[in-house]
Amino acid sequence: MEVVHLNQKQLAARWNISEAGLERWRSEGIGPKFLKICGRVLYRLIDIEDYEAQCLHASTSRLVAEQAGTTW
């Protein structure tokens, strides 16, 4: 199976956010895992899809409860 990578520009376009936003997320430890090889930042598609799956929520009220540490 071939590993597919996206660069910062491609991921920013996928999510319709700025590249600067991705840079800030990396410095804050937010977002998908990334590779840094010879100064280039790459994201594996599998890690992007995993992060997207973690961001799926059925309800905003449940999200608030999860962030507060409350269980249903």
pLDDT tens track, the chain, 72 positions: 799 999 999 999 999 999 999 999 999 999 999 999 999 999 999 999 999 999 988 777 765 566 666 554
- Write down the pTM of the prediction: 0.78
Dihedral of the CA atoms 11, 22, 19, 38 (nearest 10)? -80
**What is the per-residue pLDDT for 71?**
55
